[in-house]
């Protein structure tokens, strides 16, 4: 999905969030249970943007007019290089209703899990604040 890729590459996380359906399902590469909802997905993506270094998309796969897209990326978490893929599905309104991320190698996934786990409370707080603005 071109808009998602451009927003991520521009580090425009507000634009990324606008592309998410309210009921988006986010499947993490390091957590068993998927997360549902725009608020938690946005909080996770904002934290990932802090964790990933040297992030860049290297290839897009999919039919430009279709509903399923794959964006292959490389990044670094600490001293671990990661290769991964964002799998996107869009709904009838053109919003992302499924986002699945896969990464390799195992040592990179473990580094990502540790870095994101250290931010768990911050992520949860950010999601609650977005769901219940003051």
Which one, of 32, 45, 18, 46, lies nearest residue 99 by Cα?
45
For position 61, what pLDDT does the model report?
Answer: 94
134 falls within a domain: no
For position 112, what pLDDT does the model report?
Answer: 95
How many structural domains comprise the chain? 1
69 falls within a domain: yes
109 falls within a domain: yes
Its domain, for residue 21, covers 2-129
Q: How far apart are CA 13 and CA 40, in angstroms?
A: 13
| Residues of the chain under the 70 pLDDT cut | 134
List Cβ neighbours of 7 (8 Å cut-off, separation of 6 or more): 13, 15, 16, 19
For position 134, what pLDDT does the model report?
Answer: 65
**What pTM value is reported for the model?**
0.91
pLDDT digits (tens, 9 = 90+) for 25-60: 999 999 889 999 999 999 999 999 999 999 999 999
79 falls within a domain: yes
Task: Count CA atoms closer than 13 A to 21's CA, side-chain side.
Answer: 18
For position 129, what pLDDT does the model report?
Answer: 87
For position 65, what pLDDT does the model report?
Answer: 84
- CATH number of the domain where residue 43 is located: 3.10.450.50
For position 130, what pLDDT does the model report?
Answer: 83
Q: How far apart are CA 54 and CA 80, in angstroms?
A: 11
> What kind and span of H or E run contains 48?
helix 38-51
Angstrom CA distances, 109 to 31, 52, 58, 81, stand at 10, 12, 19, 10
């Amino acid at each position: 999905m071109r808009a998602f890729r451009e927003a991520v590459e521009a580090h425009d996380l507000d634009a990324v969030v606008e592309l998410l359906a309210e009921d988006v399902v986010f499947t993490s590469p390091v957590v068993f249970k998927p997360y549902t909802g725009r608020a938690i997905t946005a909080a996770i993506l904002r934290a990932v943007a802090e964790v990933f270094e040297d992030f860049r998309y290297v290839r897009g796969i999919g039919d430009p007019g279709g509903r399923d897209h794959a964006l292959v990326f490389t990044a670094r978490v600490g001293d671990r290089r990661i290769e991964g893929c964002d799998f996107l599905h869009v709904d009838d309104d053109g919003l992302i209703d499924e986002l699945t991320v896969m990464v390799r190698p195992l040592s990179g996934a473990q580094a990502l899990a540790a870095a994101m786990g250290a931010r768990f409370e911050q992520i949860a707080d950010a999601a609650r604040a977005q769901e219940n603005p003051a």
